[in-house]
A and B are shown apart, each in its own frame.
Chain A
Amino acid sequence: MTTWELFTNGFSVLLDPYTFLMVVFAIVVGTIFGALPGVSATMAVALGLPFTYSMQPIPAIVFLVAVYCSSITGGSITAILFKIPGVPSSAPTTFDGYPMAQRGEAGKALGIALGSSAIGGLVSALAMLTLSPQLTQAALSFSPSDIFAITFMGLSILTCLDSKNILRTLISGLLGLLLACVGQDPMYAVQRLTFGSGELIAGLEMIPVLIGIFAVTEVLKQTAKKREALQSDDTNASVNTKMPTWREWWGIKWLLARCSVIGTIIGILPGAGATIASFLCYSTETKLSKHPEKFGTGIIDGVAASETANNAATGGAMVPLLSLGIPGGNAAAVMMSALVLKGVQLGPLLLVNQPQYLSATFASMVVTNILMVFVAIGIAKVFAQILAVPYSYLGPIIIMLAIIGSYATNMSIADVKIMAIAGVIGLVISACHFNSAALILGLVLGVICEGNFSRAYTISRANLMNMFARPVAGTLMVVSIVLLLWPVVSQLFRKKEA
């Protein structure tokens, strides 16, 4: 079957009113699930599974793909409005989205988030349909040292996140890397840094830490404000739902292109996924920007980078899943079990024996990413009105959502305690002028960084030169080291000149 036939077949499937309605329903459900803290994309797909038991294979695939894509997008809504990342991959969205919402530009931030999510999703869907075999081959040729070099490049942003506080940002990033070591080590399952606590053996769960450091810290900071200040916030609260202009979209066209490509590639890499993609793209764009100091203060570039990448990663994750039967992440693994249940033969023979499933997945992704903008804007506008609620009501609701969101991840009280402690740590970080974004970057990239470094070390028989002898790894490491040291060196030069 040619690519064009796959393309037309996929869309003819969606012309069926029942299937189309299923997509719309899945987008609404997925966006709301994604927006709720503690409900990850994996959980959203798992919650969507029972709906598909009585469906035929194609509507089931279409439904689950739509839930998966829209849940990643839904996570940005609460990240922007309340600084609660609905899904971990929306954490970098809070860096610029929340300051924008605070300035009264919630509508613009949400518009950028939803639009760039759609663009990222569409590019990755096209890549999935046209380049699946080639992309999978390329991704599978990546060795652990290459993946380590990619994640190290993401860490190289540390010296750039806050150019006035390089040392403190570096300390924050290293603390994040150390927190990622808590629990069993990735190679031999030896317990480390648990301080005798059984609850820490499995390591630190990402969602409670993110919710604590972002949402709870913010509410605690607001609590310290004078009563009069809070009450004036209550009365003057207004939400601007003005959407971004075409000129603003045109200004970030290359950013969207870059993040779509990087997000798709990261999505294909096994074990990486949407969270790594969004952090890597945010860091890459900070490095490439002409005004890196504005990142984190509330600019559309930051929101677009993170949201384009995490949605592009959803399509990327589908590439190895469909063409090799290897899930790229947790959500893809749940999707895989559902598809196998429906009799889909995932792997190289899918295109030969069941091409209709590949085309249905593609069409579903395209339609979901387009429809999602309209559906999610409607949902986001409803959520945005919540900002007008007085803070004395909104603050306690955010605290309660943080508690339930942390608990719901694993139904664990320990995660709630971790969230509370993370909230206090976030406050200390802020008081000590450390950087919470750098800490989270270290925590997210830490596990994948150490695991791949260990594997690469063993494969290269403990020879560091051999480890980075591969062209991809070697080049990326040199680039990363230059990027890491450049802000420090340039500051030293400037001081000497002065």
Chain B
Amino acid sequence: MFELICNILLWLGLLYAYFFNVLEAPIPDRTARNPYTLKPDVWPKAIIILLLVCIAVNIINIIRKNRNNPDFTFSSMFSIKVRMWLGIALVVAASFVLEPLGYMATCFLVLFLYGLLLGQTHVVRLFIFAVIVTFLLYVVFSVLLSVNLPRGTIPELRNFSLWVEGLVASVKSAIM
């Protein structure tokens, strides 16, 4: 059932995109008037038409195959594990909080919470692991590879990131 609903949603989404989103800016006049150019909407529209046909056939196939299947019900859709939903929520949330919380807090929280989600029961060990890996990844990407990891927009967390950066910089200058 999940597959059928996804296919129907995809079909409807593509139909919407075909009419409203293929072109989001006017075609330049010279291009529109030139009969020998491929207009910017032709290629995506051709792909969408092919997709609409293929997905329609796929929907028919799914319905045909499951006509006599007693498990082909709406309730079977919700058999997806709660832990997977939590995992999805955590990854999506991490991508959204990276900017306000910054690298340090996001990395620590992801390592700690995802570790718990994956069944790690030693909380203290997990806490220490999260702190160490956060710092190690910071050193590899920010110090060695000069990637400007986000510091966060929340003042306290930003100040903490700046404090760590200052600490690392002073250690670096002492070594050099």
Nearest B residue to A181 via CB reads B44
Question: Counting CB contacts under 8 A, is B84 at the interface?
Answer: yes
Assuming A36-B145, A174-B47, A454-B43, is B150 touching A396 (CB within 8 A)? Answer: no
Question: Counting CB contacts under 8 A, is A266 at the interface?
Answer: no
Q: Which of A83-91, A163-171, A318-326 contacts B (4 or more CB under 8 A)?
A: A163-171
B23: min CB distance to chain A, Å: 6
Question: Counting CB contacts under 8 A, is A431 at the interface?
Answer: yes
Instruction: Kindly count the residue-residue contacts between A and B in the assembled complex, taking CB atoms under 8 Å apart.
Output: 193
Question: A193 contacts which chain B residues (CB < 8 A)?
Answer: 17, 21-22, 24, 44
Given the complex of chains A and B, what is the CA–CA distance between A212 and B167 in angstroms? 33
Partner of A396, one of B2, B40, B84, B110: B110
Q: Is the CB of B118 within 8 A of A220?
A: no
B143: min CB distance to chain A, Å: 13
| Chain B residues touching A, range | 35 or more
Task: Mark A221-239 against chain B: 1 for CB-CB distance below 8 A, else 0.
Answer: 1111001001100000000
Q: Is the CB of B51 within 8 A of A171?
A: yes
Task: Mark B3-26 against chain A: 1 for CB-CB distance below 8 A, else 0.
Answer: 100110000000001000111111
Assuming A171-B51, A224-B80, is B118 touching A187 (CB within 8 A)? Answer: no
A311: min CB distance to chain B, Å: 23
Q: Is the CB of A219 within 8 A of B37?
A: no
Which secondary structure characterizes the binding site on chain B? helix
B52: min CB distance to chain A, Å: 10
Interface residue total, chain A, C-beta cutoff 8 A: 68
Question: Counting CB contacts under 8 A, is A196 at the interface?
Answer: yes
Question: Counting CB contacts under 8 A, is A67 at the interface?
Answer: no
Question: Counting CB contacts under 8 A, is B111 at the interface?
Answer: yes
Nearest A residue to B37 via CB reads A458
Partner of B98, one of A39, A170, A407: A407
Question: Counting CB contacts under 8 A, is A192 at the interface?
Answer: yes
Given the complex of chains A and B, what is the CA–CA distance between A391 and B87 in angstroms? 14
B63: min CB distance to chain A, Å: 14
Q: Is the CB of A192 within 8 A of B114?
A: no
Q: Is the CB of B118 within 8 A of A175?
A: no
B131: min CB distance to chain A, Å: 13
Question: A457 contacts which chain B residues (CB < 8 A)?
Answer: 36-38
Q: Is the CB of B118 within 8 A of A392?
A: yes
Question: Counting CB contacts under 8 A, is B72 at the interface?
Answer: no
Assuming A400-B137, A420-B95, is B22 touching A192 (CB within 8 A)? Answer: yes
Q: Is the CB of B25 within 8 A of A191?
A: yes
Question: B69 contacts which chain A residues (CB < 8 A)?
Answer: none
B54: min CB distance to chain A, Å: 5
Q: Is the CB of B92 within 8 A of A230?
A: no
Partner of B118, one of A185, A192, A194, A395: A395
Q: Is the CB of B28 within 8 A of A190?
A: yes
Question: Counting CB contacts under 8 A, is A461 at the interface?
Answer: yes
Q: Is the CB of B25 within 8 A of A224?
A: no
Assuming A181-B44, A403-B110, is B84 touching A224 (CB within 8 A)? Answer: yes
Question: Counting CB contacts under 8 A, is A428 at the interface?
Answer: yes
Given the complex of chains A and B, what is the CA–CA distance between A196 and B86 in angstroms? 29
Question: Counting CB contacts under 8 A, is A205 at the interface?
Answer: no
Given the complex of chains A and B, what is the CA–CA distance between A397 and B110 in angstroms? 9
Task: Mark A391-414 against chain B: 1 for CB-CB distance below 8 A, else 0.
Answer: 111011101110110011001010
CB within 8 Å of B: which of A46-68? Answer: 47
Q: Is the CB of B147 within 8 A of A450?
A: no
List 12 A-B pairs, Cβ < 8 Å: A36-B145, A39-B145, A190-B25, A196-B24, A224-B87, A231-B119, A390-B120, A391-B118, A392-B126, A396-B133, A400-B133, A404-B149
Given A408-B145, A432-B6, A458-B38, 14 other A-B residues pairs in contact with their CB atoms under 8 A: A171-B51, A174-B51, A174-B54, A178-B51, A191-B23, A220-B88, A223-B83, A224-B84, A391-B118, A396-B112, A403-B110, A411-B147, A417-B95, A417-B96
The 7 closest A-B pairs by CB, nearest first: A392-B120, A185-B40, A223-B87, A420-B95, A396-B114, A392-B118, A224-B84
